[in-house]
Structure 1
Amino acid sequence: MNAQLSRRAVLGGFGCACCAGLAGTAEARIRPADMKPLIDASHRPTDTDEKGLWQQYERIERDIADSNLLIQDKALTGYLGDIVGRVGGPAAKDMRVYLAHIPEFNAFMAPTGFMVVFSGLLTRMRDEAQLSGVIAHEAGHFLRRHHIRGWRDLRRKTDAFSILAMGAGVGGAAGGVYLGDAVQLAQFGTIFSLLSYSRELEAEADALGLKLIAEAGYDPLAMSGIWQQLLDEQKASARVRRKRVRRDASIFQTHPAPESRMVDLRASAAEVKGGTGEAARGRARYLQALAPIRATLLDDQVKLNDPGASLYIIENLAKDGWTGLLRFYEAEVWRLRGEKGDDAKAAAGYAAAVAFPDAPPEAWRMHGYAQLKAGKRDEGKAALGRYLALAPQAKDAPMVRYSLAQ
């Protein structure tokens, strides 16, 4: 693997490998009432081939746990673990969750019960109910034993164990060396390319996942909402790029667009009894859990240089109310795009951001420079002074002080 391979290129291939578990569309809808877990707590393999599969993934989990791609935040991973405990069904206590710092929509479950959630998934979720829907879907794969069913089918077609071995050493632990992010992403993709499922298995995971979140008291309509958002994001991205919607990237690469999946999920939601209202969405809990890293999540997204997608994500999150943080990153999208008229849009965005009490310090800095550029000397100096008051130890604080002195 070429270590100079671009992050976007690797992520595109990774979407093909891993998002199959999130993008399947069923030929015929499977009713949630018909889905029951096939394993319970403390499940262990008994067949020789499944034991071999588990041994491989137990080693892989050790490497993933040491990967430099993980976000080491005990409070946040503990929060994700709590959701797993609510929607993981009878084997929830056997499931482990890792948070990878990768700004793409994705999550996947290994056959041994560990789950990896991408940071980009958290960026896009509006509330806990939506997040629980993705986690429950992955738990559904584990509870229905989809991994071994798919594994046996794959082994009839190829030497799957040799493919799996090629991806070992995700964290570089086996060789005692550091692996760059691009190499690690490629290895993730190799490993979990084996975890794609048929449309029937995807429909099973959807049906069981929806049943699990409803039983936990979440709004069952949250699951269909996720796919509507993803479709709208793809359309917004294509519209700004003046291109067709990319069906060869991210979650749409190996499966058709999930329009029919949304229809199935909405029909299934009408068959189960879940919660309604704010309590069933868990938005306040979700925002509180994400507060320490939400700026990082938005910054990652904006720097992907996909202004259409970034603006859609920000505006979709703002349906629950604009904040200073959202306004700031909306302005950053315009600044980084840099086309004609974008400077004015960015300046207006920074001005809107500092009107909120939760505006990040960087919003005051950018607002200050925008005011100075517009010839508003006093307003600009006041804004930069506010920035220094909020972030006196910032790396650029000496430069800002110098600017003020001039």
Structure 2
Amino acid sequence: MKRRRLLAALGAGCAHCAAQAQGSTWLAPSRFSKPEPGSDEGGLWAMMDREETRLRRSPFVLRDAPLRDYLQDMACKLGGEHCADVRVYPVRTPFFNASMAPNGMMQIWSGLLLRVDNEAQLAAVVGHEIGHYMQRHTLERLRDVKARSAFGMFMGMFGVVGLVGQMASLAGAFGFSRDQEREADRIGLELMRKAGYDTREASKVWEHLRAEAAAAHEPAKSSPMFATHPPSDERSATLAQLAMADSGGFVGAAELSGRLAGLQQMMLEDELRRGQHGETLVLLDRLIARSPQRSDLLYFRGETRRQRATGDDTDRALQDFEQALQLGQEPAQLHRALGYLYQAREQPQRARQAFGRYVELAPEAADAALIKSFL
């Protein structure tokens, strides 16, 4: 009965949702007991336990204890008494996504960490996934898929290798229903509110993703999140409306930035290798607007433009590189990129100077011998 009332509130319109958010009767369920091994649910649970064992051994898991502790603490703030049953794994995959299995295994991908501006925005996504967990949505999907003889494919969606293509092609069949997504959104906001986060940050996550989706040729193929969580105007507006009555809360921009400081370079390199130049430029424009004095961000934007090389991209790439040089503390790779740019422009002297500077700054680089051959 409580669940039906909650779904009715979700479907009654944004203004009504905002009013209900402050006086909601929704209560988090108690911790789930591990099901009996011989039961249907116990069998599904055991399969997810095996998947978690594989995940722990995966080379994609980020072996960064402070980061994992930080994410685990956040999940505990949001999950309350369910904290003891939640295990968070940061995964090195350059796409915006998070998922949570019915046994408490949660993955947070590095592409998500790169794209959120602060801890509150990250908490909005984590709270959403915990909402799915608390309402047993994933368990419902597992049962449904098992009944349709597609369980093996669905289990693959919890892995990493080959996941992107699987998610894009299978999302339509295995994604949560619209009502389940709305329910998880609303519960996520309530969990944020109880944990002291600024719920007004939640809608911004989807605004950012909508901007990237607009720059993508085929959004569902370039990111699993676009396939399974369509970044619609309705969703962003609904989240903003639900948070309208809130006056503030913890944002945590400095906290998240400090925790990712040693990892962001790697995340940006992975993002560049993704080859989705339009989306990457939207992301980098936003990061640079937030931190205009960071020469490394200017390098990555310039390099993205140089690699795309359409229209006036190379001219604008050169502008980014020159601005980064003026700021100083530019990454060594900038000089290599300058060398390639000058080569393409048939300016051999400048190319040699740039390549020489790169080898000087990064003599042990894997491609140092190749670059020396250009000198």
- Given the two structures, how large is their TM-score scaled by the length of structure 2? 0.80
Amino acid at match of 1:229: H
Give, in angstroms, the shift of residue 69 of structure 1: 3.2
Deviates more, 1:363-372 or 1:265-274: 363-372
RMSD of the alignment, in Å?
3.4
Residues 252, 87 of structure 1: alpha-carbon distance in 2 compared, 3 angstrom cutoff = same
CA distance in 2, matches of 1:169, 1:312: 30
- Per-residue CA deviation, residues 379-402 of structure 1 (Å, 9 max, x unaligned), is 766655554453232223345556
SS at match of 1:281: coil
Give, in angstroms, the shift of residue 257 of structure 1: 4.7
Residues 291, 81 of structure 1: alpha-carbon distance in 2 compared, 3 angstrom cutoff = same
Give, in angstroms, the shift of residue 268 of structure 1: 1.2
**In the alignment, which residue of structure 2 is the partner of 1:44?**
34
The answer as to whether partners of 2:171 and 2:228 remain within 8 angstroms in 1 is no
CA distance in 2, matches of 1:356, 1:192: 44
| Number of residue-to-residue matches in the alignment | 355
CA distance in 1, matches of 2:119, 2:154: 32
**In the alignment, which residue of structure 2 is the partner of 1:260?**
234
1:58-137 alignment runs, 5 A limit:
58-137=49-128
CA distance in 1, matches of 2:329, 2:71: 25
CA distance in 2, matches of 1:344, 1:165: 49
Deviates more, 1:55-64 or 1:246-255: 246-255
**In the alignment, which residue of structure 1 is the partner of 2:262?**
292
Amino acid at match of 1:235: A
The answer as to whether partners of 2:154 and 2:174 remain within 8 angstroms in 1 is no
Amino acid at match of 2:303: E
Deviates more, 1:392-401 or 1:87-96: 392-401
CA distance in 2, matches of 1:84, 1:227: 20
CA distance in 1, matches of 2:168, 2:55: 13
Deviates more, 1:313-322 or 1:131-140: 313-322
Amino acid at match of 1:45: P
SS at match of 2:310: coil
- Asked whether 1:305 is paired with 2:275, we answer yes
Give, in angstroms, the shift of residue 39 of structure 1: 2.4
Give, in angstroms, the shift of residue 331 of structure 1: 0.6
- Asked whether 1:206 is paired with 2:161, we answer no
* Gap regions ≥5 residues in structure 1: 1-25, 173-179, 239-244
Residues 212, 390 of structure 1: alpha-carbon distance in 2 compared, 3 angstrom cutoff = farther
The answer as to whether partners of 1:129 and 1:218 remain within 8 angstroms in 2 is yes
CA distance in 2, matches of 1:159, 1:253: 23
Match of residue 207, structure 2, among 218, 224, 228 = 228
Amino acid at match of 1:181: V
CA distance in 1, matches of 2:348, 2:197: 50
Give, in angstroms, the shift of residue 261 of structure 1: 1.4
Residues 187, 265 of structure 1: alpha-carbon distance in 2 compared, 3 angstrom cutoff = closer
The answer as to whether partners of 1:66 and 1:171 remain within 8 angstroms in 2 is no
Match of residue 144, structure 1, among 125, 135, 159 = 135
Percent identity of equivalent pairs? 31
Give, in angstroms, the shift of residue 167 of structure 1: 6.0
* Gap regions ≥5 residues in structure 2: 1-9
**In the alignment, which residue of structure 2 is the partner of 1:392?**
363
CA distance in 2, matches of 1:73, 1:192: 30
CA distance in 1, matches of 2:216, 2:304: 13
**In the alignment, which residue of structure 2 is the partner of 1:237?**
216
- Give the number of the structure whose residues are more often helix, by fraction: 2
SS at match of 1:115: strand
SS at match of 2:296: helix
CA distance in 1, matches of 2:313, 2:279: 16
Amino acid at match of 2:45: W
The answer as to whether partners of 1:69 and 1:181 remain within 8 angstroms in 2 is no
- Per-residue CA deviation, residues 120-165 of structure 1 (Å, 9 max, x unaligned), is 212211222211110111111112232334455x27xx625x5334
Match of residue 318, structure 1, among 288, 296, 301 = 288
Higher RCO (Cα < 8 Å, 6 or more apart)? 1
CA distance in 2, matches of 1:185, 1:309: 16
Amino acid at match of 1:329: F
Residues 118, 247 of structure 1: alpha-carbon distance in 2 compared, 3 angstrom cutoff = closer
The answer as to whether partners of 1:63 and 1:169 remain within 8 angstroms in 2 is no
Amino acid at match of 1:289: R
CA distance in 2, matches of 1:190, 1:72: 30
**In the alignment, which residue of structure 1 is the partner of 2:6?**
none
